[in-house]
Amino acid sequence: MTTRSESRTALDHLLSEIEHRNPAQPEFHQAAHEVLETLAPVIAARPEYAEPGLVERLVEPERQVIFRVPWQDDQGRVHVNRGFRVEFNSALGPYKGGLRFHPSVNLGVIKFLGFEQIFKNALTGLGIGGGKGGSDFDPHGRSDAEVMRFCQSFMTELYRHIGEHTDVPAGDIGVGGREIGYLFGQYRRITNRWEAGVLTGKGAGWGGSLIRPEATGYGNVLFAAAMMRERGEDLEGQTAVVSGSGNVAIYTIEKLAALGANAVTCSDSSGYVVDEKGIDLDLLKQIKEVERGRVDVYAERRGSSARFVPGGSVWDVPADLALPSATQNELDENAAATLIRNGVKAVSEGANMPTTPEAVHLLQQAGVAFGPGKAANAGGVAVSALEMAQNHARTSWTAARVEEELTHIMNDIHTTCHETAERYDAPGDYVTGANIAGFERVADAMLAQGVI
């Protein structure tokens, strides 16, 4: 029988090996550390997980694809970007995870996202594996024609690695309905197949699911509401700070309002807005989704209730709830300390790994309910899997049915994380609960399928 101490030593050794074998990939190192440091109790309790090199296989992607993406801008100049697809683990089903188009994208970022996706997808209970992809292409400021040419070039290579039973990409930062449309069109053109289930996040009129654009933000708020209920409270009357102003942030704000909370902030790379009356969703959607403008324009048009703060930290604004919905490592230890001083009750991650490890530790020590992204933002991939189910049946569900399914899934994820944490003597620790619950589901499938 392996003790927790022995398991901890073995995992520490593996973490050192990961850092050695994957140099200059700090995001992947951080993601692996965050998961592995919680697994000692489960490996001690179930030594069969340690025997066939299972954890060693889990942290090594099954396949990593890197490719050149040449494309022409509107002036005829040729640009060369780099494309990625990391197919991390398919023990539970086809690889599933988004595509991110952003200048910050590199192999380490994609591996961190893909590794997180394994556990997130496992928590949904929907039979999907983990993967992620993208490119260092920046769609911001590019014309529709330029984005189309890039997407067509990107898919010209990617198509040979994906399929509805193999790998099903979706959107992420920089990849919305426009990009998914161009990607799907090129896939259809090359393969001569109407394979609706190969991409999710499609338009509702041609195979997409209702509630998919809203799903990540809605799901995060539902998870936050479940954490608050566990504390004997609800969202009615609570003040919330939300970072970001993209898809996740917008629908986080929308769902908060629907459940009686008041979101007073949004942000982008230029700074943040504080709106004492609460964020005006129609105005924010017009500026961000239609005009593709910056949040300072929101403050200009909103009037006296709103002010724009260039730079700075959205976490300086006092609130009951904090929902980081922009990007990784945006909420650091200093920000966490400020939130705690201002009386925050719960932090729920809408983005992937937006809170640094030091900040997570500080929040948990202070008794703040903390919802890790692999649990709290699983609503997006959950509805993507529901989109796949609709595609397989050649049918379309009502918005009410999809939202009902989403609510059920998010409540189940919360219950699973809460009960697993208690089972392993870590009551209220949703990080430990999410990591172990997701790990157990994947590990059991990997054991059943042999050393592959």
Token readout for 422 is: 């208690």
Token readout for 44 is: 């001690």
pLDDT at 272: 97
- Mean local confidence (pLDDT), 271-287: 96
Three-state secondary-structure class, residue 177: helix
- For residue 247, the surrounding DSSP H or E stretch is helix 247-258
Average predicted confidence (pLDDT) for the chain: 96
Q: CB-based contacts of 158: which residues, under 8 Å, 6+ apart?
A: 65, 67, 83, 85, 133, 169, 183
Q: Is the pLDDT of residue 25 over 90?
A: yes
pTM: 0.94
Rounded percentage of the chain residues whose pLDDT exceeds 90 = 96
Q: Is the pLDDT of residue 312 over 90?
A: no
Planar angle of CA 187, 191, 194, nearest 5 degrees: 75
Q: What phi, psi does 185 have (nearest 5°)?
A: -60, -40
Q: Which is catalytic among the residues 132, 255, 345, 374?
A: 132
C-alpha gyration radius of the chain: 21
Best CA proximity match to 414, nearest among 381, 370, 384, 445? 370
Cα–Cα distances (Å) from 106 to 69, 97, 149, 153, in that order, read 14, 16, 21, 18
- For residue 81, the surrounding DSSP H or E stretch is strand 78-89
In the numeric block, the tokens 């993406």 are attached to 69
Cα–Cα distances (Å) from 170 to 202, 298, 352, 383, 394, in that order, read 9, 29, 15, 11, 19
pLDDT range class, residue 320, cuts 50, 70, 90: very high
- For residue 168, the surrounding DSSP H or E stretch is strand 167-170
Token readout for 75 is: 């002036």
pLDDT range class, residue 1, cuts 50, 70, 90: low
pLDDT at 51: 86
Planar angle of CA 321, 415, 126, nearest 5 degrees: 105
pLDDT at 311: 86
State yes or no: is 120 an active-site residue. Answer: no
Count H helices, E strands: the chain?
Answer: 17, 13
Q: What phi, psi does 369 have (nearest 5°)?
A: -65, 125
Asked whether the beta carbons of 331 and 354 are under 8 A apart, the reply is: yes
Q: Is the pLDDT of residue 2 over 90?
A: no
Q: What pLDDT, in 10s, does the model give residues 341-377? A: 999 999 999 999 999 999 999 999 999 999 999 999 9
Domains and CATH numbers, the chain: 4-59 (no CATH), 63-195 (3.40.50.10860), 215-376 (3.40.50.720)
User: Measured between alpha carbons, how far is 21 from 168 in angstroms, rounded to an integer?
Assistant: 28
Q: What phi, psi does 243 have (nearest 5°)?
A: -95, 160
User: Measured between alpha carbons, how far is 169 from 180 in angstroms, rounded to an integer?
Assistant: 9
